[in-house]
Amino acid sequence: MRDVGLVKLDEPFTNLLTQGMVLNEIFFRKPVSGRIEYFNPADVRVEADDKGRRLSAVLTADGAPVESGGIGTMSKSKNNGVDPNRLVEQYGADTARLFINVCFAARAVARSGRMTVCRDRSGSCAAVARGAPARLGGPTGEVDIAVLDARQKALRRALHQTIAKVTDDVGRRYTFNTAIAAVMELLNELARFEVTSQADAP
């Protein structure tokens, strides 16, 4: 804008982060005469065989078939947006936020299976936050690094590596999905770790 003379100041950012496109499937009916009518994917029931291959797609309201236009950009004209309130009501706000950030770079279509994974992970985070102090009998104090055994040091190292990666992914790279993936890996490590003493708290 400065170069073309529209403003006199330098543009107020040093890095451009493009948002990309949010995609979802398009369902419609094409009448003999008149305009194409589009239906929201949440109002369509997709039927598949035991191998997951699609057999048909029908409108829930009347049970009549609809056609699929494939995956396309979400838009009002195609009526293929996702109502965040439905996701919040079904899975909770934290899970919806986690799902959006996990799929930030993947351009994924919202599917219940992936939402369930996010819900489980969100619950795991809460469980770790609530359970660790309780299992140890209260908040942890200072840890003497010199007395830690190999498995304790490995977990502590994984914790600090995760903190460093998340800090860089969020603060510099803006890749929220990889930051969350790193936290999920740490959760797996914590789930496998047997807490038996104060020294076991990373």
pLDDT tens for each residue of the chain, 202 residues long: 778 888 887 776 777 766 667 889 999 999 888 899 999 999 999 999 998 899 999 999 999 999 999 999 999 999 999 888 888 898 888 888 887 777 655 444 445 445 555 655 555 565 555 555 555 556 666 778 888 889 889 999 999 999 999 999 988 888 888 898 898 899 888 888 887 765 555 5
Q: Write down the pLDDT at residue 94.
A: 84
- Looking only at the bridges linking them, the beta strands covering 44-48 and 37-39 are unpaired
Q: Write down the pLDDT at residue 109.
A: 43
- Looking only at the bridges linking them, the beta strands covering 37-39 and 23-29 are antiparallel
Angstrom CA distances, 157 to 66, 162, 196, stand at: 53, 9, 18
Q: Write down the pLDDT at residue 81.
A: 92
Q: Write down the pLDDT at residue 127.
A: 56
DSSP assignment of the chain equals -TTTTS-SSPPS-S--------EEEEEEE--SSS--EEE-GGGEEEEE-TTS-EEEEEETTT--B-EEEEEEE--TTTT----HHHHHHHH-HHHHHHHHHHTTTTTPPP-HHHHHHHHHHHHHHHHHHHHHHHHTTS------GGG--HHHHHHHHHHHHHHHHHHHIIIII--HHHHHHHHHHHHHHHHHPPP-SGGG--
pTM above 0.75, yes or no: no
Question: Residue 95, Cβ neighbours under 10 Å: how many?
Answer: 21
The 10s digit of each residue's pLDDT in 49-106 is 998 899 999 999 999 999 999 999 999 999 999 888 888 898 888 888 887 777 655 4
